[in-house]
Amino acid sequence: MNHDRSSSLFQLAKQSIPGGVNSPVRAFKSVGADPLFIKSAAGDRIVDEDGNSYVDYVGSWGPMIAGHCHPDIIAAVQQTMESGASFGAPTVRETTLANMVIEAVPSIEMVRMVSSGTEATMSAIRLARGYTGRDKILKFSGCYHGHADSLLVKAGSGAATFGVPDSPGVPADVAKLTLTAEYNSLESVRKLVSANSGSIACIIVEPVAGNMGTVPPRDGFLEGLRDICTQEGIILIFDEVMSGFRVAYGGVQALAGVTPDMTTLGKIIGGGLPVGAFGGKREIMEKLSPSGGIYQAGTLSGNPLAMSAGIATLNILKQSGFYQKLEEKSRMVAEGIAKAAKDAGYPIYSTRVGSMFCAFFTPGEVYDWPSASQCDTKAFAKYFLAMLNEGIYLAPSQFETAFVSAAHTEADIEKTIAAAAKCFKLIA
């Protein structure tokens, strides 16, 4: 495929935008190529500026669960736009979407709309700190919760007690308040909680990790976190920005039967428009300004266009059989890719939860960041570029999740599996 126009546009973009992109993973840096510039999308397809069409498994990093340009969502946004794009004042749509979220997500009794996942997690942590009167937070290596200072922290060697900044510009004094445990290891959590007794405000976790590839929780992991938090008076936050309304209508917590104290949401509840949300127990949420003293604000929070797109999206998801059909499509593509790898004699470790899936380029089990980091990223880069050449658009990183939408057709799934079979043979 010819990508000359995309490459030219990338060179132009680098003159005015740092790195040529407005979010780092878009740059294709880890796969050694120039990024595609996308011109349009419809259903399960995207088209680049060179006119190439691809079967899309990125879906704007998750929210396009109904497919690109679903007519119900387009109509809702167009209708809303005719009466105004932004007011910085309350609208009925905010309450409508809030009530839909409250009805769907077990942990949420009240919810505050924001404009991004980062804003949601940052605000949830501030609220947890204000509610508990504690300063430290605990996160997990390999789980990404946005780019707020306190969350851009990784573990030191072994079970380090204190975090170190993962980016220049993050003050060490801020990083020291972030403790980092290993995903799927309750023992690493217990050690940190014991060493910091009475000083941890919250534990924040992706209940299905989606930012080191798709890594499911092991049996008992989420239940164990719930028990530890209950015993220690720690706020348990599920970051379901990626998994909320994606793996099930009520998120991972509905599937697992484990209810956190707070939940962060994003992606899907804006139907592809910029949105985020955080919610939880009423007694916690009522501490938020203006009903309480913990401050959070945003002019574009509850933006009418995003609310309309979110309402339309959730109405689509509530239709009978939606998730059952999506589950079957997701099973077909994930199992098909895994079989293609096996038939080619190339070892991969395949994971899937609902319509989130990942092919890890390692023969060993992946259950945390150290095991994920053993993947052959050079082999993945070859596979990614080969699949792109076959018209299959995957995330340009081994450590990202692939997403299936309701718009993926059986023909395009078969095309994907056939392409994978060809590409695994090339790199085997």
Q: Which tens digit of pLDDT belongs to each residue from 225-270?
A: 999 999 999 999 999 999 999 999 999 999 999 999 999 999 899 9
Which of 267, 329, 368, 376 is flagged as catalytic? 267
Q: pTM of the entire structure?
A: 0.95
Place of tokens 């009423």: 282
Which domains does the chain show, CATH number per domain? 4-69+321-427 (3.90.1150.10), 71-317 (3.40.640.10)
pLDDT of residue 381: 96
Annotated catalytic, 267? yes
pLDDT classification of 215: cutoffs 50, 70, 90: very high
Which of 131, 144, 346, 383 is flagged as catalytic? 144
pLDDT classification of 163: cutoffs 50, 70, 90: very low
Which of 239, 261, 376, 412 is flagged as catalytic? 239
pLDDT of residue 27: 92
Mean pLDDT of all residues belonging to the chain: 95
pLDDT digits (tens, 9 = 90+) for 97-150: 999 999 999 999 999 999 999 999 999 999 999 999 999 999 999 999 998 888
